[in-house]
Structure 1
Amino acid sequence: MTLDFAFIWQAFLLLLPAIPNTIYITVVSVGCGFIIGLIVALSRIFAIPVLSQIGTAYVTFIRGTPMLTHLLLIYVGLPMIVDSLADKYHWSFHSVSIPMIGFAYLSFSITAGAYLSEVIRSGILAVNKGQMEAAHSIGMTTFQALRRIVLPQAFAAALPNLSNSLIGMLHGSTLAFTVSVVEVNAKADIIATTNWKFFEAYLAAALIFWGLTILIERATALLEKRINAYNRGGVA
C-alpha cells in the first residue's frame, strides 16, 4: 500500500471547515456538563434530601451505560416527548424544529455532567474540611465559603481530571455523526467516498484531533503554572 500524501493534505484542508462543529459540541457539552456536575456534586456532598439520591442514581446510570446509548435514547425519546406535549397543549413547536446538533448538545451534556460531578466532588473533598469551618467561624455563609475558599482550591486540585474530561468529550464528539451531525470524523468519511482513500482521510482527521488535544494540554499546563504561581505567592 502506498500512501497518497497529496490527498492527506487535500483532505486535511477539506476537514478544516468541520472543526467548528467539533469544538461547539465539545465546549457546549463540557460547559453545561460542568454546571450539572457542580449541582450534583454539591447535592451529594451536603446530602440534600431527594436531590442527593437522584444525583447518585443519575451518576450510576450514566456512568454504567455507553455514551452512544445516551445519544440514541435522546434522539429517539425526546421527539416522542416533545410531540406528545405539543399535541396535548397545542404548541406550535414540534420535534422537527429541533436541529440535529441539538440532540448532540443535550445528550453529551448529560453524559459529561455525570463524569464531571465525580471530578468536582473529588476536588471539593480534597480541600481540608477545616477551611470551611474556619470560614464559618469568621461569619461567612456556606455559599460564600464555597465561592471564595473551597471551589477555587477544588478547581486547582481537579484541573488535570477536568482536562482529561475535556479531551474525552472532544474525542467522544465523533459519535455525533450517528444523528447526522457533520463533525471532523464524519467529514472525513464523506471526503473518502470520492476516491475510497479512507486511510488517508482518517489519518488527516487523526492529525486534527491530535492537534486539538495538544492545544488543550498546553492550555491546561499554562493554567496549572498560573495557579501554582498563586499558591506560592509568586503573583501579585
Structure 2
Amino acid sequence: MFDIMTVFESFVEILKVVPKTLLLALIILVLSFMLGAAITYIQSLGIPVVKQIIGVLQSFLRGTPNVVLLYLVYYALPLVSAWFLGLFNVTLDPSSLNSTAIVIVTFSICYSVFQSEIIRGALHSLDKNQIEAAQSLGYSTTQTLRKVIIPQVMVEALPDTMNAFLIIIKALSLAFLVTVVDIFAQARLVGAQSFSYLEAFVAAALVYWGICVILTYAIDKLENRMRRGYA
C-alpha cells in the first residue's frame, strides 16, 4: 500500500544528492556552452572541409541517443586516452578513469551541438546597427565585443541555455548506467532498501519538479533584469 511517510523519507534522502547533481549539470552546461561557442566560431570562418566535418559530427550527435553516446564514450575514452598517453611513454590503466569524468565529457560534447545553435540564433538576432553605432563612437573591436555584442547575446541566449540546464539535469538520470549517483539513481537505491520503489520515484518526481519550478522562477527574474539593463 502507498505510504506517504515513505515518500517523505525518500524525499529527504534524495535531497542529499541534489547539490552534487546540480554541480555536475552546471559543469556540463559551462563546458558545452564553451564548446558550442567554439563550434559557432569555427563555422563562421567558412572553411569548407572543416565546416563539412563539423556538420557530420553535429548530425551524428543529433541522431544518436544519449544512452548510446554514454556507452560509446564509457568504453572508448579509456582506450583512446591510454593510446594517446602511450605516445608520450605515459602509462594509463583504462579502468582508472573516473565515471563522473566520462559523464561530463559525454554530455558536454552531446549538448555542445544544441548550444552552438542557441549561440548562432542569438547572434543573428543582434541588431547590426548597434555594432555600427559602437564603432562610430570609437569603440575598439574588443570594447564592442565586451560592451555591446556579448551582453545582448547573453540576454537572447539565456532562456534557451537555462532550458538546456534543466534538460541536462534530467538527462543525468542516465548516469546511473555508469555508476554515477544522481537524483534518479538515489531514488533507485532508496527504493531498493525497503522495496518501496513507487514512493521513491514519486519523491524523485517531486524533487525534479521542485528544481524546475525554482530555476524557472530565478531564470525569469534574471532575464527580466538583464533585458531592463539593455533595453
Q: TM-score, normalised on structure 2? A: 0.90
Shift of 1:58: 2.8
**2:5 counterpart of 1:6:** yes
Cα distance in structure 2, aligned partners of 1:169 and 1:135: 37
| Larger displacement relative to structure 2 (162-171 or 63-72) | 63-72
Q: Cα distance, 1:86 vs. partner?
A: 4.0
When structure 1 is superposed on structure 2, of 166-175 and 146-155 the one drifting more is 146-155
The alpha-carbon distance between structure 1 residues 89 and 45, as it changes in their structure 2 partners (threshold 3 A), is: closer
Letter in structure 2 aligned against 1:163: M
Matched, 1:157 2:156: yes
Amino acid at match of 1:60: S
Bigger relative contact order, structure 1 or 2 (CA pairs below 8 A, ≥6 apart): 2
Query: How far apart are the structure 1 equivalents of 2:25 and 2:207?
Result: 14
Query: Matches of 1:46 and 1:122 in 2, distance apart?
Result: 17
Instruction: Output the amino acid matched with 1:75.
Output: Y
Instruction: State the shift of 1:120 in Å.
Output: 0.9
Name the counterpart of 2:43: 44
Q: CA 1:47/1:88 → structure 2, altered by over 3 Å: closer, same or farther?
A: closer
In structure 2, C-alpha distance between the alignment counterparts of 1:143 and 1:120, rounded to whole Å: 19
Structure 1 residues 194 and 218, CA, compared in 2 at 3 Å: closer, same or farther? same
Between the aligned partners of 2:139 and 2:93, the Cα distance in structure 1 is 47
Superposed, 1:65-144 pairs within 5 Å as 65-144=64-143
CA offset digits 1:19-77 (Å, max 9, x no partner): 13311221010010111111112222343565444433332221222111221111011
- What's 1:22 paired with? 21
The answer to whether residue 223 in structure 2 is matched with residue 224 in structure 1 is yes
CA contact under 8 A between 1:45 and 1:121: conserved in structure 2? no
Deviations 1:179-213 (A, max 9, x none): 11011101111111122211110111111111111
The one-character-per-residue Cα deviations of 1:129-169 (angstroms, maximum 9, x if unpaired) are 33334444555454443332122112112222112111111
Are the structure 2 counterparts of residues 53 and 136 from structure 1 closer, same or farther at C-alpha, using a change threshold of 3 Å?
farther
On the 8 A contact 1:86/1:94 being kept in 2, the answer is no
Q: 1:109-129 CA deviation, whole Å, 9 max, x = no partner?
A: 111211111011101100123
Moved more, 131-140 or 16-25: 131-140
Identify which range, 45-54 or 103-112, moves more after superposition: 45-54
Matched residues, percent identical? Answer: 29
Q: Secondary structure at the match of 1:193?
A: helix
Moved more, 175-184 or 187-196: 187-196
In the alignment, the residues of structure 2 paired with residue 181 and residue 145 of structure 1 have an alpha-carbon distance, to the nearest angstrom, of 43
What residue ranges of structure 2 are gaps of 5+ in the alignment? none
Q: Give the letter for the 1:109 counterpart.
A: S
In 2, the alpha carbon distance for the partners of 1:23 and 1:43 equals 30
Name the CA distance, whole Å, in 2 between partners of 1:86 and 1:36.
23
Change (3 A) 1:46 1:155: farther
Q: Is the 8 A contact 2:126 2:149 kept in 1?
A: yes
Alignment correspondent of 2:182:
183
How many residues get paired?
A: 231
Residues 50, 139 of structure 1: alpha-carbon distance in 2 compared, 3 angstrom cutoff: farther
Instruction: Give the secondary structure class of the aligned counterpart of 1:127.
Output: coil
C-alpha distance in 2 between matches for 1:85 and 1:218: 45
Tell me if the contact between 2:78 and 2:94 (Cα under 8 Å) persists in the aligned partners. Answer: yes
Q: Secondary structure at the match of 1:194?
A: helix
Q: Is the 8 A contact 1:42 1:121 kept in 2?
A: no
Deviation at 1:221, TM superposition (A): 1.0
